Amino acid sequence: MRNLFIVFLALCVLSISCEYQNAINVIDDTRVSEQTRVLKLGFYDAFSPVSYSLAHTHHGYEADLLTALEVMETPNLSFTRKPISQWENIWLLAATANYDIIGGGITILEDRTKDATGTPLVTFTTPHIVFRQSLLVRAEDAGRIQNYTDLTRDVRVGVLRGTTGEARLLQITGIVDANGVVAAGTRIDTPTGSVIADGTVDYKITAAGSTPNIENRFTLYPSVDNMPQVNYPVNMPNQDFHPLILRPLIALPEELVLIISLQDNRIDALARGEIGNRDAAAASAGTFVVTALDEQVEYGGFTVARENTELLEFLNKRIDYLTDNGNIGYAQWVVDNGIFMKRAQTLKSDN
């Protein structure tokens, strides 16, 4: 028995050694040259805890993943990181001269690889994180709003334009169909006035964008009782007015505007990814809770220019190693924020 146990241990060590050697060999195939390579990274700066900016520094899950990637290639690779506050179509910026990579908790969707004309511009990397949608509600409303079926005309739901949180809410509640066509009779308020959707492709909303006539929408009013009112954040949240007190108007991130609106009872729920909503609930000291977890799973990645196949391969091999081919993700990182760095340092020391 003792001899069998020794053989078993030897096989385990050999297996682990082979795994690391295979990873080293694969990554060596795309290792950067001795000349330092600087990649221009743009990231969405308001998606805590996945990707956010604090004191002009990139923080969160994606920040740690990319820092580990830098360590794997030290001293031959570094990222210059630029925060981006505008979410809509952020993924397409990878096709511009200003950026090599775009991140920020972006769900991988084929429609997001193309511009408004349908021209393919960017490609997504291999997935590095898993998402699913949910609702964030005030704790006292948790019994009233447990599922998407509880979202009726008298419930006000906040969303961000051009997100999968918006798209899934509209699909699940029937406000749009599978192709994003808005249900006939829905009133859509815009800065230039209200329009009524006629059930045709002239009024579409998807996670990749919308038709130009409603791209600046700020409220949706469905024509039936079993669909909720949908509210979008404005640049400036409501402030108490006093004629003798001057208050500067301060632009806030749209995610924060929605959370403040939920707290102040201007909306009843926030439709957003589970990760962001659970983070907000934890920070609220019991004020908010998460309900209505969506069964559909989404995957997130980075974007690069479509023609930059070398960079895509370079990133994919390293992301696959750091995430152990998808076996290490947000759930593991939230327990140990250094998990990606440990894998990077292990590979570095073995190489």
Q: How many domains does the chain have?
A: 2
Q: What is the pLDDT of residues 52-92, one digit of tens each?
A: 999 999 999 999 999 999 999 878 899 999 999 999 999 99
One domain for residues 223 and 184: yes
Share of the chain above pLDDT 70, in %: 84
Does the residue 338 lie in any domain? yes
Does the residue 116 lie in any domain? yes
Domain CATH for 49 = 3.40.190.10
One domain for residues 142 and 282: yes
One domain for residues 166 and 284: yes
Q: How confident is the model at residue 246 (pLDDT cuts 50, 70, 90)?
A: very low
One domain for residues 146 and 110: no
SS3 8: helix
With a CB cutoff of 8 Å and minimum separation 6, the contacts of 159 are 165, 166, 169, 230, 231, 232, 258, 270, 271, 272
Q: What residues are paired with 158 via a beta bridge? A: 231, 270
pLDDT of residue 251: 60
One domain for residues 34 and 181: no
Nearest Cα to Cα of residue 88 among 38, 160, 187: 160
Q: Which of 18-22, 44-48, 111-115 has the lowest mean pLDDT?
A: 18-22
pLDDT of residue 20: 47
Beta strands in 118-225 (DSSP E): 122-124, 129-131, 133-138, 156-158, 187-190, 193-196, 205-206, 209-210, 219-221
One domain for residues 169 and 220: yes
C-beta pairs of 312-316 under 8 Å, 24+ apart in sequence: 312/123, 312/125, 313/30, 314/30, 314/32, 315/69, 315/101, 315/125, 315/126, 316/125, 316/126
Does the residue 12 lie in any domain? no
One domain for residues 285 and 162: yes
Q: Which of 9-18, 91-100, 233-242, 256-265 has the lowest mean pLDDT?
A: 9-18
One domain for residues 312 and 272: no
Contact 279, 263 (CB under 8 A): no
Give the pLDDT mean for 272-296.
Answer: 97
pLDDT of residue 17: 45
Nearest Cα to Cα of residue 73 among 321, 323, 303: 321
| Backbone dihedral region for residue 292 (phi beyond 0: left; psi -120 to 50: alpha; all else: beta) | left
SS3 103: strand
- Give the chain's end-to-end CA distance (angstroms, integer): 36
One domain for residues 138 and 280: yes
Query: For the whole model, what pTM was predicted?
Result: 0.85
pLDDT of residue 247: 42
Domain that holds residue 239: 133-291
Contact 298, 164 (CB under 8 A): yes
